[in-house]
Amino acid sequence: MLRFLPVALLLATACSSSPVDPANGPQPPSDGTAAVLLQEVATGLTLPLYLTFAPADSSRVFIVEKPGRIRVVKNGTLLPDPFLDVTSLVSTGGEQGLLGLA
């Protein structure tokens, strides 16, 4: 047990005597002035929960509504007919409903 004492003391000394360079240390947090842009995509939606873009087609946006519809916004316009309507199959109480899109 005592044979490890010199190694432990050497290790403790080496770790405590290493120079600390504040320039390379952690940076202080930013002042909180991040630029955030909020843009309304569509109106007339019922409990929208999720938004995603169509693969390889940034002109179409899919919006999931909790009651069971997936709506499409194409070139900035909400299409009148939903992409999918399963409202008759979905319960919306509490944490239930159409909650995502894969």
Phi-psi region of 87 (alpha: psi -120 to 50; beta: other; left: phi over 0): alpha
Q: Is the pLDDT of residue 38 over 70?
A: yes
Cβ–Cβ < 8 Å for 4, 10: no
Task: Please give the pLDDT value at position 58.
Answer: 87
Helix, coil or strand: residue 75: coil
Distance CA 36, CA 57 (A): 24
Q: Where in the chain are the domains? A: 48-89
Query: Is residue 18 very low, low, confident or very high in pLDDT (cuts 50, 70, 90)?
Result: low
Length of the chain equals 102
- Residue in 61, 62, 74, 73 with CA at minimum distance from that of residue 98: 62
State pTM to two decimals. Answer: 0.64
pLDDT tens by residue, 46-71:
999 999 998 888 899 999 999 999 99
- In this structure, what are the phi and psi dihedrals at residue 66, rounded to the nearest 5 degrees? -55, -40
Element (DSSP H or E) covering residue 8? helix 5-16
